[in-house]
């Protein structure tokens, strides 16, 4: 059994970055109950890990990021399972995770895999990546946050079209729509994700956490509340040592030395 007792995922850390890899290449990394359970345990461990300041999600191999949920499990699910919303709750946790998250999308990102990517803060895709919501063809719908997060990212019209038709969109179209922020050749994916992670981690950790929180909660609030959240978060930062170090380093023309303390 792999380190940490995981069987279907691995967690590897380097430079303060935790790579979370779904390892079911024989079924295009489809997510089943065990994968969800292992990711949940990994999140428990990483949330308070002083050596993990950013998470990158990726799929094993070059064919798929995550090609959706395991259809054999879906066939057995009941209305009670839908109300339990296990996958939705897991993805909600990833979306609100205190550390920044990146989805490194290598290949198929269908259904639950598409929703996993959407729950991450940043998405980087390979040129052979494909995004789709095929659920309506199975007589179900995206219900792990996909209907809402996709509409937030690409707009309600495009989201409705993709969900109703199940159409697969390639990486270049995903980039044009803002679904992903960067498209690279498959062999460059890990480097691109690592470069993005390093850029993020060069910045103030408290500023990163508060910026992520305000973007997420402000977007779903009215404009006045959103600006209030900005002011309150900025007030916290103005009183933090992090701001003093960042401005001092700029004036002294050197790289800031930010200390990383407990997550909010």
Cα-atom radius of gyration of the chain, to the nearest Å? 19
Catalytic residue flag (residue 63): no
What residues contact residue 116 under an 8 Å CB cut-off, 6+ apart?
31, 57, 65, 66, 91, 94, 103, 109
Instruction: Give the strand order in the sheet containing 108-110.
Output: 64-66, 108-110, 130-132, 169-170
Q: Cα-Cα-Cα-Cα dihedral of 181, 55, 121, 137, to 10°?
A: 90
Per annotation, catalytic residue among 15, 38, 73, 135: 135
Asked whether 7 and 38 are in contact (CB, 8 A), the reply is yes
Per annotation, catalytic residue among 115, 161, 187, 245: 115
> 123: which 2 tokens?
């998405």
What residues contact residue 226 under an 8 Å CB cut-off, 6+ apart?
214, 217, 218, 219
Looking up tokens 């995903």 gives 174
> CA-CA distance, 56 to 168, in Å (whole number)?
24
Catalytic residue flag (residue 115): yes
- Residues acting as catalytic residues: 115, 135
């Amino acid at each position: 059994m792999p380190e940490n007792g995981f069987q279907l995922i691995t967690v590897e850390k380097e430079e303060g970055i935790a790579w979370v890899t779904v390892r079911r290449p024989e079924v295009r990394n489809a997510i089943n109950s065990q994968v969800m359970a292992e990711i949940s345990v990994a999140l428990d461990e990483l949330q308070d890990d002083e050596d993990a300041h950013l998470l990158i999600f990726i799929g094993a191999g070059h064919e798929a990021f995550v090609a959706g949920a395991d259809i054999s499990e879906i066939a057995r699910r009941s209305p009670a399972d839908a109300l339990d919303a296990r996958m939705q709750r897991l993805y909600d946790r990833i979306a609100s995770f205190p550390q920044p998250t990146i989805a490194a999308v290598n290949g198929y990102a269908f259904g639950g895999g598409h929703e996993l990517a959407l729950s991450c803060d940043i998405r980087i895709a390979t040129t052979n990546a494909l995004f789709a919501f095929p659920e309506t063809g199975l007589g179900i719908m995206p219900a792990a946050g996909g209907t809402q997060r996709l509409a937030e990212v690409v707009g309600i019209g495009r989201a409705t079209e993709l969900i109703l038709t199940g159409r697969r969109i390639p990486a270049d179209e995903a980039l044009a729509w803002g679904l992903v922020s960067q498209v690279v050749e498959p062999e460059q994916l890990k480097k691109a994700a690592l470069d993005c992670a390093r850029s993020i981690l060069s910045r103030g950790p408290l500023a990163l956490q508060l910026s992520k929180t305000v973007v997420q909660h402000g977007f779903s609030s009215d404009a006045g509340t959103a600006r209030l959240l900005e002011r309150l978060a900025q007030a916290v930062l103005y009183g933090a040592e992090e701001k003093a170090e960042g401005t001092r380093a700029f004036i002294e023309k050197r790289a800031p030395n930010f200390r990383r303390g407990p997550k909010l």
